[in-house]
Amino acid sequence: MAYSSTFAFSIPGGTLGIDQFAPDSTLSISDDPDGERWLARRVVLNASIDNGGVIRSEWHPWEDVSIRTWLVPPSTPDSTFHTRIHKITNHSTKHLTAADASFANETEAVRNANSIKKSGTQHYASETAAFTVSNPGVSGVIDLLGDGPAEVRSADVNTNIVFTRTVIPMILTQVKPGEDKWNATRIDGKPSGSSTKPVNDTWLTEWEGQEHSAGTKFSDVAALKAEFPCLA
């Protein structure tokens, strides 16, 4: 997981569903067919940092499920993204759902009996990518292995420690019983005050270009391992 002084972080507002759980900036997992119960990492095992700055760690949400994570830092000082790679080993008899989320971003919403009106925020989601643009900046996630789907979820009110209402871009992945499932995402977080480029309406076009550009996605796990030798 990774946190940001721009987007802050969230804490669960309840235990029923992913919107109450509000799992920003981390991988969370559920063994509940109804999607009500979710877990995030609490106890870290076998943590290490290699010479390239890649952080490797492991955790066990249940005795028969293990998750190894590689957190790959930005390639250059002015990069706005980092890469997360997870290997989920499911020795259980249950189907699992994993959600790898980017930073929670501020949104404005006015609820009435018939609709939710949102202003000041742009949302975008495709099969393999999702992002939001709001006053704090841009938060987004791209599924590097193309499993998807991608969603922008509305977290419960007051789950973020700074913003009253937030939305969270995330990639949802299904893990079958007995499966070793690889999950790889690119997490973008760009503050609106960044000097690299202003946040404006051109971000949708640029994001779509990044999502489909060469080298952004990998055809299979072998190609992913070739790009990231730390996975060996």
Please say if the pLDDT value at position 43 is more than 70: yes
Closest C-alpha among 186, 141, 165 to residue 10: 165
User: pLDDT at position 1, please?
Assistant: 54
pLDDT in tens, 187-203: 988 877 654 444 455 55
pLDDT in tens, 101-158: 999 998 865 443 333 344 456 788 888 888 888 878 888 999 999 888 999 999 999 9
Q: What is the DSSP string of 163-203?
A: -SSEEEEEEEEEE-TT-EEEEEEEEEEEETT-SS---STTH
User: pLDDT at position 182, please?
Assistant: 97
CATH architecture of 18-231: Distorted Sandwich (2.70)
Rounded percentage of the chain residues whose pLDDT exceeds 90: 52
Question: What's the average model confidence in pLDDT over 41-69?
Answer: 94
User: pLDDT at position 135, please?
Assistant: 79
Rounded percentage of the chain residues whose pLDDT exceeds 70: 82
Please say if the pLDDT value at position 206 is more than 50: yes
Question: What's the average model confidence in pLDDT over 63-83?
Answer: 89
User: pLDDT at position 117, please?
Assistant: 42
User: pLDDT at position 207, please?
Assistant: 59
Q: What is the DSSP string of 124-170?
A: EE-SSEEEEEETTEEEEEEETT----EEEEEPPTT-BSS-SSEEEEE
Structure tokens that stand for 204 in this block: 């949708």
pTM (predicted TM-score): 0.85
